[in-house]
Structure 1
Amino acid sequence: LPDTHHCICLFHMNQNFIKQLKGKLHDEFTSCHQLFIKTRNSSCVEDFERRWQRLITNYPAAKSYLQNKLYPIRFSWAYCYTQTRFTAGTTTTQRAESENNTIKLEG
């Protein structure tokens, strides 16, 4: 379908964020993670971009991961870009994974 837009599962994105940055940021991880979540939940592009700049400025150890892995796909995870997409309120793949697990157990 030409008008289909894929969104990133926020649970898995968060897991990858932790895996990639907790060891690099050490004591700064919690504050970086909190700012990242606030950035992700920005309701307008201007707020998102302003917070994003703060992220990469305040946490240089995270800059490579943020700029090379997450920023290019921001249209599929940042709320300011996904809020106009129909998602039925789903931001994770939890239901699909639960159903897949049930099928595996029954099979």
Structure 2
Amino acid sequence: MDLHAFLGGTLTAITLKGKVIRRMGPDHPDLAEEARGLADLARDARAEVRAADDGVPVTGEITSGTGLRSIAERCARLGGQMRVEADQGGRFTLTCRVPE
């Protein structure tokens, strides 16, 4: 899944949940549950963002360049870990997981 598809779908879900919560009103019995669901969805989206490049296939070893090094450093500052992989077809995937 590419970054646009992941974030687009997640942000749409967050927006829709927010609208539902707004319409429920402060005294609705399901308000707390819906708010928790919204917070969980946002936290999960923040915890893992994946980006996949559909461009030229990667061949050989993936080395750390300025861009990858910068992303890894930012991820580490947030207490997370970055992983870079290329599948058999050469599709490049970068995953950065950060704690809640």
TM-score between the two structures when normalised by the length of structure 2: 0.27
Q: Which has the larger radius of gyration?
A: 2
Normalising by structure 1, we get a TM-score of 0.26
| Higher percent of residues as strand | 2
Please identify which structure carries the higher helix content: 1
